[in-house]
Amino acid sequence: MLGLFERKAAPEAKASAAGPVVAFQTAGRAAWSPRDVPSLTRNGFTANPVGFRCVKLIAEAAAAVPLVLQDMQARYDTHPVLDLLARPNAGQGRADLMEAFFGQLLLSGNGYLEAVGEPGAVADELHVLRSDRMRVIPGADGWPIAYEYAVGGKTHRFPAEMICHVKAFHPQDDHYGLSPMQAAATALDVHNAASKWSKSLLDNAARPSGAIVYRSADGFGALGADQYDRLKAELEGQHQGAANAGRPMLLEGGLDWKPMGFSPSDMEFQKTKEAAAREIALAFGVPPMLLGLPGDATYANYAEANRAFYRLTVLPLVGKVAGALSHWIDGLGTARLRPDLDNVPALAVEREAQWRRVAEADFLTDGEKRSLLGLAPRPTP
């Protein structure tokens, strides 16, 4: 029997004969990229044209949607908050600020806007903060009490009321949102891998259209120098260029033509890449037709796809951010920011039809018609 502090001798190490096979099998597993925000931004935005275009298309379209400020009594043409949004800081206009904010929200699932000024009053400036540098500090009740922004080894803590945090829905996280980029990460890896494979094919395995094989009568020997030069001159002079396309070749003296081409597995990579591109567009809510992806016939034409893009992707995002800003910006009172649908060119036909239907509804009062169109009541003289 061993004592309390005595160690049992280690058994002799033995290796299984199947060990090398197991190690080889695990090495063949798919290697997925990291799912943190910097890696997703690098792999899905700066290094992937489909992800880049999806983010740019949504962010630019959302930033271009005009916002109106109104309450139950009137729509405001001038207001300190409208002035603040028109010129949020010295280096950015409204479009630049909102594009950066929507871009951060799409890349990370979180958008952070800093207010510069005294609490309780309309802010002097607004700034977009990078999502990968921000950390939520929850209180004892679980709600954020502060935000920490870390840059270059330095950290600054913001009070919670100075930060507008807009986050996408995440079913498993209480403080951070889930980005479309993360949902599309697998398709992004497949698309990037297919692009790298195509580049490697061009660098290392690109094939000529065919080869001329020489077979002598006895199976030995090679073309002489004169024969080689004559054959090369004939190929360059009579079988190269657009004017000679399709011209038949007459081979003699033991020469044979062997065509070369891509194998079926090589050709399947292009289909895999196109399927991955459509999955990326699906995760972001962008109709593949708007990205120029082949094989998509969901919408009858480009205008219909563009209208669906605004209705299903852009406007819900703008409405979400406008609602968050309305609750966060001080000095609004009962007024609220909302998208101005009458000034969205993609919805012009749809809005014109709605105005016509409402205008022809004789059973509605003028006030009810204005309410249906999202307008404030007519000002009293």
Does pLDDT of 330 surpass 60?
A: yes
Nearest to 181 by CA among 30, 38, 29: 38
DSSP for residue 296: -
- Give the least confident one: 78-87, 186-195, 334-343, 347-356: 347-356
Does pLDDT of 22 surpass 70?
A: no
Phi, psi of 157 (to 5 degrees): -105, 125
Q: What is residue 357's predicted lDDT score, i.e. its pLDDT? A: 83
User: To the nearest whole number, what is the mean pLDDT of the chain?
Assistant: 81
Q: What is the C-alpha separation between 187 and 273, in angstroms, rounded?
A: 9
Q: Is the dihedral of CA 35, 37, 42, 47 positive or negative?
A: positive
Question: What is the share, in percent, of the chain residues with pLDDT greater than 70?
Answer: 76
173-179: average pLDDT: 92
Report whether 324 contacts 112 (CB < 8 A): no
Give the residue with greater pLDDT, 9 vs 287.
Answer: 287
Summarised one tens digit per residue, pLDDT across range 32-86 is: 667 788 888 899 999 999 999 999 999 999 999 999 998 888 888 888 999 999 9
Q: What is residue 337's predicted lDDT score, i.e. its pLDDT? A: 93
Q: What is residue 218's predicted lDDT score, i.e. its pLDDT? A: 60
Give the residue with greater pLDDT, 264 vs 126.
Answer: 126
Can you say whether residue 246 is alpha, beta or left, with left for phi > 0 and alpha for psi between -120 and 50 degrees?
left
Summarised one tens digit per residue, pLDDT across range 98-129 is: 999 999 999 999 999 999 988 777 888 999 99
Domain boundaries, the chain: 37-186+283-339, 208-260, 344-381
* Six token digits for residue 111: 């958008």
Q: What is residue 21's predicted lDDT score, i.e. its pLDDT? A: 46
279-292: average pLDDT: 92
226-254: average pLDDT: 69
**CB under 8 A, 24+ apart: contacts of 25-34:** 30/189, 32/185, 32/186, 32/189, 33/185, 33/188, 33/189, 33/192
- Give the least confident one: 10-14, 82-86, 237-241: 10-14
CA 185 from centre of chain: 10
Report whether 352 contacts 325 (CB < 8 A): no
Cut 0.95: pTM above it: no
Q: Which of 7-11, 23-27, 111-115, 247-251 has the highest mean pLDDT?
A: 111-115
Confidence of residue 222 (pLDDT cuts 50, 70, 90): low
- Give the least confident one: 110-124, 270-284, 344-358: 344-358
Report whether 338 contacts 319 (CB < 8 A): yes
- Give the least confident one: 25-34, 237-246, 290-299: 25-34
Helix H segments across the chain?
19-27, 37-41, 49-64, 80-86, 94-108, 180-183, 185-204, 225-238, 264-284, 302-309, 315-328, 348-359, 366-372
* Six token digits for residue 185: 């990460």
Report whether 368 contacts 376 (CB < 8 A): no
